[in-house]
Structure 1
Amino acid sequence: MIVQDQTSVLAFLKDSASYGESVARVTTLDTHISVIVFVGQRVFKLKRAVHLPYVDFSTAARRLAACRQELDLNRRTAPTLYVGVRCITREADGRLLFDGHGELVDAVVEMVRFDENTLFDRMATRGQLTSALLTELSRTVARFHTNAAIDHRRTGAASIASVLDSNEQALAEANIFTSATIAALTAKLRTALGHHEALLNARERASKVRHCHGDMHLRNICLVNDVPTLFDCIEFDEAVATIDILYDLAFLIMDLWHRGLESGANLVFNRYVDERDEVDGLPLLPFFMAIRAAVRAHVIAMQAGQATGQRYEELVREARAYIALAFRFLAPAPPRLVAIGGLSGTGKSTVAAAVANQLGPAPGARILASDRIRKHLRGVPAEVRLPVAAYHPEVSEQIYAVLMQSVRATLANGHAVVADAVFAEIAYRERVEQIALDAEVPFTGLWLHAQPDTLIARVDARRGDASDATVDVVRTQLASQNSPAGWTWIEAGGTVTSTVARVVEVLACRAPQR
């Protein structure tokens, strides 16, 4: 609800003469709690004078404090974007000025203007969110979470319970959802909260609740000097952003999923967990994604309340789509284990990335790849080539031991797994099958096959790949290969599309019952 008239402030900000320089054009963008003013190479962000269940910008003093908090918090991730805070004062002659000596009327955050075409929501629409870009974004988020301030003032369950409380109220006030829909979603969310209470509290004790970004969807990410950069974090309520780090990540993953980029969502999830060992929190991800979808539903519904005509209808449909997505995330999805083996160059990692989002609970299977584990244990990025010594038999035995341990731990947490390795030795194949038996989950073994010339050509063409296999390695593998009995043979010498289609067909035939 708007509680204070900002007409004069908006007029001041829209007047090019207010900036004391030659400004050809001033444009604005409205959001549900802010007005963004674009002036040349600068941006000024004004807080709306609103008092809502989750934010109080009802006075100029509150808005100034929020601006200062926004500056400090966003400089954690985007120091070059955030310039400062400008006070808007009313002088003795009635004029409004930036940083004058008169009465405080309002405040704005001043930012450097960036190329809006690099906003990740726009790049997603254009199909420009490449695997490399999403990988770098995942690493950026992981580093940010590692350095974020730890907070032990509330239990993990209490933090999430407050989100459910405020969101239930906001959904009811939106007047576009039926009471039955709100009641059904609320009941499912609260049941899930009760189920996860002990885990949420354990993660808080393990310092997994931190002062995070809080609003990490694609529109709050851009490129600065070609680097993925988080901006516009939650500043108006510290409690809203002091959350489990996986709940922070869940907004990004949910947003990708909502846009039909399920593979991208799964990639971000996997690259993030490559950087941070969050296997204990895997049961929480579908729950967190459902909450994020429900929160997004009420925000869109609020925007609908300020729209008319066709725009109103579009926003209502979008809000209801988010509610449907929340229900989908909360639906049971049993775990399973899929092992993808084959010689170097058969496309194991490509196939794994293409099908993982379709397996188990959202955001899809954890991909555990021997190549990435090998690099992780050496403390280098997956793209860095290792020396030959890193591939000695005793090292490979260690890699498979870690792979098997990780598969077991992930399945124990109710999540699906794709194990990606050559699996040339019978012993390794038997070990991974036994893990599935012990965990009582369905197992599918896939053996990818391609002709020698195809394998050699593919490996020779690789650049910046997690695999360090060379043409000589392929020739050595060909000399000693043995096809596994009991695993499904997949012809992988054709296109990626045809190989993936065959794999999807096999997996669908052997899908576990929900």
Structure 2
Amino acid sequence: MTATLTRKSGPAVFRPEVPTSATLTHVVGDQSAVMRFMADPASHGLPSDDPSKSVERIDTHGAAVFLAGERAYKIKRAVCFPFMDFSTLARREEACRAEIAINKPNAPEIYLDTVAITRDKLGHLAINGQGEAIEWAVAMRRFDTAMTFDQLAANGQLTQTDLDGAVDAIIGFQGHAPIRRADDWVADLSAYIDQNDQAFHEAHKLFGLQETADLTRRATAEWRLVRPILLARGEAQAVRRCHGDLHLRNLVRLPSGVRMFDAVEFDERIATGDVLYDLAFLLMDLDESGERQAANRVLNRFLALRDEPSDFEALAAMPLFLSIRAALRAKICAMGAQHLAPVQKKAMEKEAQRFFAYAADVLEPRDVTLTVVGGLSGTGKSTIAQALAAAIGRTPGAVVLRSDIVRKTIMGVGWHERLEASAYTQSVTHQVFTTLRNLAQKALASGHSVIVDAVCAQADEREALEGVARGVECHFAGVWLDAPLDVRLDRIGRRRDDPSDADARVARLQEDYDLYDVEWPRVDARGSIDDVLGAVRPLVDRLN
């Protein structure tokens, strides 16, 4: 857990996620001498008489972080919670070393080493000095806190490059993470629901007894429904020792790229879970922050890059994953609110209620729709599909299956690597559409809406996709985008870093296609994105 950075006029102010006073009943050791030492600029070779060189301190329920010059030092608090035990020096040393071991491979620009706070024979304290170690700390390089994802999102500065970089970092980390047993983790999920229920009952004036009972009943029902799917995820090696705390504040944009940090180090069980459950924390945080379009982009890139068919079946558990993540946040906010001044208490209680409402809402059933956006190259299929996705179906919006990406995945090349003509034969195209149908069927059967983004120039291709919708008994919306050749050529010529290989030659050849038998609603796509969306949305919205 990390502190929340709140920007005000003047210097940055940090609000603990759970206030320091909330930990008083859990404190099991006196660290006051170490805390005073770390807060002293002289301890870090900084002048004591220069306010600009002062040491900033950030407090959370489990740590105190000291920002001094270009360094940051995290001291584990001598506390003992049911979920986190830092009660002895040995445990705190172990936790510091674990934090370095887990996080340094993902963010070597941030994490340095475990250091000792020592005391010599004269009683003087030092960082890695002479004498016995009386405390341990995680040493880190400081970074610009305005670049954490929560701040970027709050300021409207979170870019598609940021989101794509986050997904790439997450997949890279998860791909090397140790594989764990599914049955233990699935049982833990049920325990989380029970623990949340107990906490909400204790704070019933905040959440309501009936509302709590309803949330617990529905979450438990969802858990029972998806339990067989989650147990099968063990066979797919999808249950791993993950990050465990993958929210917006634990992602940062650095000059070298997006890095995730502050992974859970104190409890293997809390950090263990399905890779989609790990991702769900970020999806929930983005969506709850009003960034559903961003959450949808993250989910779709994750699914496409992993290229794991069982992920599409496991989407059946996404509402439960999102609900549990939000409920945990509601519980933590409620804990912290108990120890705040009235104004701050009211604000945090509202935050707790907001997360609680989200946890309940995300379990509400949603209609399932298969939408297909067809049209020749350059008509704007991918742009329209991505713009539609976030508003279709359940959180965080529809899965988008793009034929260009599926083709390159089948051929084993990167999305932006140009394919030879042999990759566009009839047999390969048949394989592409078979994959599109199979993945769409898995996602739709899981209760998740899908958008297929493909040319669909052949009648049998369109009919086969309609057949998928009939097979799972969901709504179907087919839309055909039309645009004259000059518009298509202009758009194709302006493409940069696009998975499509279509060029001007392909666009001209497509003019000879016989499209008179297209029965889907045809939309004039020569206008702006907003104009085209304005025409397409009513065709899709009536089914959702």
Look up the match of 2:283: 253
| 1:468 match: secondary structure | coil
Deviates more, 1:350-359 or 1:25-34: 25-34
| 1:480 match: secondary structure | coil
Identity %: 38
Q: CA RMSD in A?
A: 2.0
Matches within 5 A, 1:433-512: 433-511=466-544
Q: CA deviation at 1:484?
A: 4.7
Matches within 5 A, 1:379-418: 379-418=412-451
Take 1:223 and 1:162, find their aligned partners in 2: how far apart are those partners?
Answer: 35
Look up the match of 2:10: none
Take 2:315 and 2:430, find their aligned partners in 1: how far apart are those partners?
Answer: 27
Look up the match of 2:155: 126
Kindly indicate whether residue 259 of structure 2 is the aligned counterpart of residue 229 of structure 1: yes
Take 1:375 and 1:79, find their aligned partners in 2: how far apart are those partners?
Answer: 32
Look up the match of 1:6: 31
Matches within 5 A, 1:22-61: 24-61=53-90
Name which of 374, 389, 395 aligns with 1:341.
Answer: 374
Name which of 218, 221, 237 aligns with 2:248.
Answer: 218
Contact 1:447 1:483 in 2 (8 A): no
The number of residue pairs the alignment matches comes to 511
Take 1:95 and 1:164, find their aligned partners in 2: how far apart are those partners?
Answer: 48
| 1:76 match: secondary structure | coil
Look up the match of 1:288: 321
Contact 2:185 2:269 in 1 (8 A): no
Take 1:426 and 1:284, find their aligned partners in 2: how far apart are those partners?
Answer: 35
Provide, for residues 128-186 of structure 1, a one-character-per-residue CA deviation record: whole Å limited to 9, x for no partner: 32223312321221222121101128434213123223333444555743333333222
Structure 2 gap segments, 5+ residues each:
1-22
Distance of aligned partners of 1:484 and 1:500 in 2 relative to their CA distance in 1, 3 Å threshold: farther
Kindly indicate whether residue 79 of structure 2 is the aligned counterpart of residue 67 of structure 1: no
Matches within 5 A, 1:81-96: 81-96=110-125
Q: CA deviation at 1:301?
A: 2.4
Contact 2:459 2:518 in 1 (8 A): no
Kindly indicate whether residue 350 of structure 2 is the aligned counterpart of residue 317 of structure 1: yes
Name which of 196, 220, 224 aligns with 1:190.
Answer: 220
Distance of aligned partners of 1:93 and 1:408 in 2 relative to their CA distance in 1, 3 Å threshold: same
Q: What is the one-letter code of the residue matched to 1:127?
A: G
Take 1:82 and 1:172, find their aligned partners in 2: how far apart are those partners?
Answer: 40
Q: CA deviation at 1:274?
A: 0.6
Take 2:255 and 2:463, find their aligned partners in 1: how far apart are those partners?
Answer: 48
Take 1:261 and 1:360, find their aligned partners in 2: how far apart are those partners?
Answer: 16
Q: CA deviation at 1:223?
A: 2.4
| 1:358 match: secondary structure | coil
Contact 1:73 1:233 in 2 (8 A): yes
Provide, for residues 321-356 of structure 1, a one-character-per-residue CA deviation record: whole Å limited to 9, x for no partner: 111111111111132111110111111111111111
Matches within 5 A, 1:108-127: 108-127=137-156
Look up the match of 2:168: 139
Take 2:61 and 2:349, find their aligned partners in 1: how far apart are those partners?
Answer: 15
Kindly indicate whether residue 50 of structure 2 is the aligned counterpart of residue 17 of structure 1: no
Take 1:483 and 1:54, find their aligned partners in 2: how far apart are those partners?
Answer: 64
| 1:32 match: secondary structure | coil
Provide, for residues 105-134 of structure 1, a one-character-per-residue CA deviation record: whole Å limited to 9, x for no partner: 332110111222221111112223222331
Contact 1:32 1:303 in 2 (8 A): no
Contact 2:182 2:231 in 1 (8 A): no
Take 1:218 and 1:377, find their aligned partners in 2: how far apart are those partners?
Answer: 33
Look up the match of 1:180: 210
Contact 1:155 1:200 in 2 (8 A): no
Deviates more, 1:226-235 or 1:75-84: 75-84
Q: CA deviation at 1:100?
A: 4.3
Q: What is the one-letter code of the residue matched to 2:385?
A: A
Provide, for residues 382-419 of structure 1, a one-character-per-residue CA deviation record: whole Å limited to 9, x for no partner: 22222333223332222222222222222222221101
Deviates more, 1:152-161 or 1:24-33: 152-161
Contact 1:447 1:484 in 2 (8 A): no
Contact 2:64 2:76 in 1 (8 A): yes
Take 2:285 and 2:239, find their aligned partners in 1: how far apart are those partners?
Answer: 21
Q: TM-score, normalised by structure 1?
A: 0.94
| 1:330 match: secondary structure | coil
Structure 1 gap segments, 5+ residues each:
none
Deviates more, 1:331-340 or 1:163-172: 163-172
| 1:155 match: secondary structure | helix
Q: CA deviation at 1:207?
A: 2.1
Q: CA deviation at 1:87?
A: 2.1
Q: CA deviation at 1:64?
A: 1.9
| 1:49 match: secondary structure | coil
Distance of aligned partners of 1:133 and 1:498 in 2 relative to their CA distance in 1, 3 Å threshold: same
Take 1:155 and 1:27, find their aligned partners in 2: how far apart are those partners?
Answer: 41
Distance of aligned partners of 1:167 and 1:71 in 2 relative to their CA distance in 1, 3 Å threshold: farther
| 2:523 match: secondary structure | strand
Contact 1:285 1:363 in 2 (8 A): no
Take 1:35 and 1:155, find their aligned partners in 2: how far apart are those partners?
Answer: 32
Look up the match of 1:166: 195
Distance of aligned partners of 1:154 and 1:90 in 2 relative to their CA distance in 1, 3 Å threshold: farther
| 1:419 match: secondary structure | strand
Deviates more, 1:163-172 or 1:375-384: 163-172
